[in-house]
Amino acid sequence: MKKTAFLFPGQGSHSVGMGFDFYQEFVFVKELFEMVSEICKINIPDLCFKGPMEELTKTINLQPSVTAVNLACLTAVEKEGIIPAFLAGHSLGEYSALSAAGVISREDTFRLVYKRGELMHRESVKHKGAMHAIIGLPVEDIERIIAEVKNEGIVSVANHNTKTQIVITGEPEAVNKVSSLASAKGAKPVPLNVSGAWHSKLIKGAEDDFKKYLESITFNKPAIPVIHNVTADVSSDPSETRVLMGKQLCSPVKWFDSIKRLMDEEVEIFAEIGPGRVLAGLLNKILPKDYPHKTYTVNSLKSFENFIKEAK
């Protein structure tokens, strides 16, 4: 089998009904959803399968819900004996990658994403924020524009998704100003439907509390290398991984650099494990046409069966 990477989506990949066919098909998925519901004191099956979307989208509900679907899809793949060479996850998805690598237990994965969502929600209520995707300019240009408006409010890069798709985050007026200046340079700003300014200084108040909580969690050496959001690099030191996950909350997600790192490692099979196909869409924009690769999604029984058939 060619060198494979499993990629896990985060917030923004969700939809009402996600994971339902896996839940109906596999007893182990029902057991997983029961475990998450017990740990988080939330009815995860109801949220995932019935919504409503407004409730599912609340970060305190969304983080354990997306993670449950990620790990349900992953477990189905693992039971077929397919083991990747590398793992990575986009923002929230990084916790699924750490779980898949054995760095943190499944129970602790859900404890962490619930606490993360709780703290992020707390800060978003205190500090109104916004996020826009800016399409059509490289990150260097966006950073220059941000430097121009630094006296007008908090704004920074949240996600470096592709060469020319950058998500900015911060106070609404400052975010709008950057979007306006980027638009004047030919870019297309797209406001995102989020409840807070994730990966920004506006949620810095959550960082210290989350770092303390991380200290209560056991981190192990990864059985499979994980490409981290903060560094676009791997770490085999559990203490360093804990520090990186503390920083991840307010640091930019280096997704473009993470995929380039996987290219450097000559990964040819990319499988998005979890709801939606956001990461598959980004891969299509990042990977050069002449780079040998295949992209799969595992977000339904049909796509799961297709991936298993081709991967074996």
Backbone angles phi, psi at 123, to 5 degrees: -70, -35
Q: What mean pLDDT comes out for the span 284-298?
A: 97
User: The CATH number of the domain where 155 resides is what?
Assistant: 3.30.70.250
Q: Are residues 117 and 33 in the same domain?
A: yes
User: The CATH number of the domain where 77 resides is what?
Assistant: 3.40.366.10
Q: Which of 14, 90, 127, 199 is the catalytic position? A: 199
pLDDT of residue 243: 98
Q: Are residues 183 and 52 in the same domain?
A: no
Q: Domain range spanning residue 267?
A: 4-125+201-311
Q: What is the pLDDT of residues 156-170, one digit of tens each?
A: 999 999 999 999 999
pLDDT of residue 28: 98
Q: Are residues 121 and 25 in the same domain?
A: yes
Question: Ramachandran region of residue 280, left (φ > 0), alpha (ψ -120 to 50) or beta?
Answer: alpha
Q: What is the pLDDT of residues 51-65, one digit of tens each?
A: 999 999 999 999 999
At 100, is the pLDDT very low, low, confident or very high (cuts 50, 70, 90)?
very high
> Percentage of the chain surpassing pLDDT 70?
100
Q: What is the pLDDT of residues 31-55, one digit of tens each?
A: 999 999 999 999 999 999 999 999 9
pLDDT of residue 193: 86
Q: What mean pLDDT comes out for the span 175-198?
A: 96
Q: Are residues 216 and 112 in the same domain?
A: yes
Tokens of 71: 């790990």
Q: Are residues 209 and 185 in the same domain?
A: no
- Whether 59 contacts 92, CB under 8 Å: no
> Percentage of the chain surpassing pLDDT 90?
97
Q: Are residues 115 and 226 in the same domain?
A: yes
Looking at the structure of the chain, the number of domains it has is: 2
Q: Are residues 111 and 141 in the same domain?
A: no
Q: Which of 91, 99, 124, 195 is the catalytic position? A: 91
Q: What is the pLDDT of residues 253-263, one digit of tens each?
A: 999 999 999 99
Q: Has 199 been annotated as catalytic?
A: yes
User: Which CA distances in Å does 31 have to 24, 76, 103, 226?
Assistant: 11, 13, 21, 26
Q: Are residues 91 and 207 in the same domain?
A: yes
pLDDT of residue 312: 80
The reply to whether 196 falls in a domain is no
Distance CA(270)–CA(296), nearest Å, equals 6
Question: Is the pLDDT at 1 greater than 90, yes or no?
Answer: no
Distance CA(247)–CA(129), nearest Å, equals 19
The reply to whether 9 falls in a domain is yes
Closest among 99, 91, 98 to 117, alpha carbons compared: 91
Q: Are residues 68 and 164 in the same domain?
A: no
pTM of the predicted structure, to 2 decimals: 0.97
Residue after which a domain boundary falls, among 150, 166, 191: 191
At 195, is the pLDDT very low, low, confident or very high (cuts 50, 70, 90)?
confident
Q: Are residues 63 and 116 in the same domain?
A: yes
Q: Has 14 been annotated as catalytic?
A: no
pLDDT of residue 293: 97
- Which three-class secondary structure state does DSSP give residue 89? strand
